[in-house]
Amino acid sequence: MRTVKKKKLTALILALAVFLTGVWLLPALASNLTSDEQTKVDDYKTQQAEIQTKIDENQAKLDSLKNDIDHQKEYISTLQDQISTYQRQIDVHNENIRDLEEQKSGIQKKIDALDDDIRVIETEINHNELEQIKLQQQVEDIYDEFKTRLSDMYKYGRTSTLELLLNSRDFHSFLITLEISSNMAKHDEQMIDSLNQGISEIEALNVKKQELVEQINVKKAEHEAEIASLSAKQTEIEAVRNEVKTSQDKVMVLEAEAREYLAKLDSQSEEYIAIMNRYEDEIEAFDKKIDSIIAEAAARHAAEVAAQQQRAAAAAASTGSSAGEENAGSSGGYTSSSGFIWPLQYGDVYISSNYGYRTDPATGSTRFHGGTDTCCWSGTAGKSVRAAASGTVIVATYMAGGYGNYVVLDHGNGYTTVYGHNTSLNVYVGQYVNQGDVIAYAGSTGYATGAHCHFEIRVNNERVNPLNYCSP
């Protein structure tokens, strides 16, 4: 009864610990961070504190300038500063999410290793139990034989050497009988030795089994702790993602306010020209930034693929097999135009803006449009945006004043695709997607005047005309 109560109490404590992990145990879990991870956590908190201070200052300034007609230029400048500050907050949040995902991946690797250890120990325990059963049967067989031998000795008694001599027909038969008797005695001794040895081996197996049971209990306790840690880490990631969503919503409100404010200004006024110049600078800076993001992410992915191929080649060499066919195309992606599909797979799709130079719908200036904008006659907002080709997600974030919610896929061989202005995303960085998978839902976030899907194909980070590779 006491054992049952103890087990129930232990289970209750464990369940309670898992339940409270996301709240009470977070400080304890944080203490298990490496020095580098802790440094990143501290840096993240510092940056967020600085950003929040800037946001509060800008908001106070906006509140004081909003209805002041004499300070329109300062108001819109502060509005744009606030958008940029929120974007910085989003970027810091996303960097934190990437760090948390790496920690989560590390925890998962520990869990997988513990799973392997537990399976090995369980196999040893099963083998131990089978050996015990086998030995136990051997001991019982010897014991039964020995009991029969003792019973015979009791019934017929031991025969002395003198009796053997007197009862023998001659000396030769006496020697034969004496040898048989001696062999029987030796067999008796061997049976006793076998019994003692079998019992000792069973006891040794029992001791070993207890050691294995203790080992597996320790491993299972570690496993439960890591599972709780993984759950807490996921909770932490979801919390930061919610903060990103909150910041995105605030940015979209500010962007709408900026567009509304812009529409009221005279296109020849000093304020309007200053705002347009700033937009042009921001767009140019954004283009450079996304080029850099894609180049860095693609290089990182290429390095990972190369490392994976090296490991596969080394493994193949050690086994004497050929890895050539197995690794062919392991970088993913397509090398010809026939490998891509259009991201909006609907029957009423039309192109609202082509690749090439055009009059910018917001600024009125002539700018290069590096992709193709696509809409649906039945309405574009919320339509499924699908992966044009299979690949790995290298960017999945929000960019104020730019692509809004956007996704970048790396298809290998220098090919990447970009999907911009989505109302929401359906993938995360590092995820592998197949051609046709829904990666986002179309919208008008970021630098957009209406719901559409901005689609780019890049070859070695140079934007090319998507219509040369696929069509609606």
Specify the CATH number for 32-264; select among 1.10.287, 1.10.3470, 1.10.357, 2.40.128. 1.10.287
Element (H, E) at 66: none
Considering only residues 149 and 76, tell me which one the structure prediction assigns the higher pLDDT.
76
Classify 392 in phi/psi space as left (phi over 0), alpha (psi -120 to 50) or beta.
beta
Q: What is the pLDDT of residue 1?
A: 44
Instruction: Judge whether 84 and 400 are in contact, CB under 8 Å.
Output: yes
What is the spatial distance between Cα 91 and Cα 395, in angstroms, rounded to a whole number?
12
Q: What is the pLDDT of residue 186?
A: 64
Taking only the tens place, the pLDDT of each residue in 31-50 is: 467 788 788 888 888 888 88
3-state secondary structure (DSSP) of residue 402: coil
Q: 170-184, 211-225, 377-391: which has the minimum mean pLDDT?
A: 170-184
What is the spatial distance between Cα 440 and Cα 421, in angstroms, rounded to a whole number?
10
As a whole number, mean pLDDT of residues 5-34 equals 41
Instruction: Judge whether 367 and 357 are in contact, CB under 8 Å.
Output: yes
Considering only residues 289 and 223, tell me which one the structure prediction assigns the higher pLDDT.
223
Q: What is the pLDDT of residue 322?
A: 45
Instruction: Judge whether 409 and 389 are in contact, CB under 8 Å.
Output: yes
**Domain ranges for the chain:** 32-264
Q: Which long-range contacts (CB under 8 A, 24 or more apart) does 352-356 make?
A: 352/452, 353/452, 354/467, 355/463, 355/465, 355/466, 355/467, 356/465
Taking only the tens place, the pLDDT of each residue in 428-462 is: 888 899 999 999 999 988 877 789 999 999 998 88
Q: What is the pLDDT of residue 167?
A: 54
Q: By percentage, how much of the chain surpasses pLDDT 70?
A: 74
Considering only residues 13 and 225, tell me which one the structure prediction assigns the higher pLDDT.
225
Q: What is the pLDDT of residue 360?
A: 66
Taking only the tens place, the pLDDT of each residue in 286-343 is: 777 777 877 787 677 677 777 777 877 877 776 665 444 433 333 344 434 458 999 9
Q: 7-21, 182-196, 232-246, 422-436: which has the minimum mean pLDDT?
A: 7-21
As a whole number, mean pLDDT of residues 206-214 equals 88
Q: What is the pLDDT of residue 442?
A: 94
* Phi, psi of 170, rounded to the nearest 5 degrees: -155, 180
SS3 content of the chain, % helix, strand, coil (to 5): 65, 15, 20
Closest CA to 289 of 369, 403, 388, 392: 403
Residue 4 has pLDDT above 90, yes or no: no
Q: Which long-range contacts (CB under 8 A, 24 or more apart) does 209-212 make?
A: 209/125, 209/128, 209/129, 209/132, 212/121, 212/124, 212/125, 212/128
The one-letter amino acid at 91: D
Q: Is 387 exposed, middle or buried (0-12, 13-18, 19+ CB in 10 A)?
A: buried
Residue 175 has pLDDT above 60, yes or no: no
Q: Is 442 exposed, middle or buried (0-12, 13-18, 19+ CB in 10 A)?
A: buried
Instruction: Judge whether 51 and 88 are in contact, CB under 8 Å.
Output: yes
Buried-state track 174-200, b at ≥16 Cβ within 10 A, e below 16: beebeeeeeeeeeeeeeeeebbeebee
* Phi, psi of 266, rounded to the nearest 5 degrees: -70, 130
Instruction: Judge whether 89 and 48 are in contact, CB under 8 Å.
Output: yes
As a whole number, mean pLDDT of residues 72-82 equals 81
Beta-carbon contacts of residue 175 (< 8 Å; ≥ 6 apart): none
